[in-house]
Amino acid sequence: MNKNTVAHLNYLVIGHVTRDIHESGNTLGGTAAYSAVCARALGRVPAILTAGEKGHSLQELDGLLIKWKDSPHFSTFENIETDHGRKQILHAIAEQLLPEDVPLGWRNSPIVHLGPVAGEVNPEIIDIFPDSFIGLTPQGWMRTRDENNVVHFQPWTDSDRLLQRADAVVLSIEDVMGNEDLIQSYVDRTNILVVTEGHNGARVYWNGDVRHFSAPNVPVVDPTGAGDIFAAAFFDRLETTRSPWESARRAVQIASRSITRVGLAGVPTIQEIRSFQIEVIEGK
Mean pLDDT in the chain? 88
SS (HEC) of 78-104: EEEEECCEEEEEEEECCCCECHHHCCH
DSSP reduced 3-state for 129: coil
Alpha-carbon span 104 to 110, nearest angstrom? 14
Over residues 127-140, the mean pLDDT reads: 97
146-196 per-position pLDDT tens digit = 999 999 999 999 899 999 999 999 999 999 999 999 999 999 999 999 999
Contact 97, 67 (CB under 8 A): no
233: Cβ–Cβ under 8 A, 6 or more apart, which residues?
38, 42, 247, 250, 251, 254, 255
Over residues 233-240, the mean pLDDT reads: 97
What pLDDT does residue 62 have? 85
What pLDDT does residue 79 have? 82
Over residues 205-220, the mean pLDDT reads: 85
87: Cβ–Cβ under 8 A, 6 or more apart, which residues?
79, 80, 81, 150
24-68 per-position pLDDT tens digit = 778 889 999 999 999 999 999 999 999 998 766 677 788 899 999
The phi and psi torsions of 166 (rounded to 5 degrees) equal: -65, 145
What pLDDT does residue 2 have? 47
Entry pTM: 0.91
Q: Is the pLDDT of residue 85 over 90?
A: no
Contact 65, 47 (CB under 8 A): yes
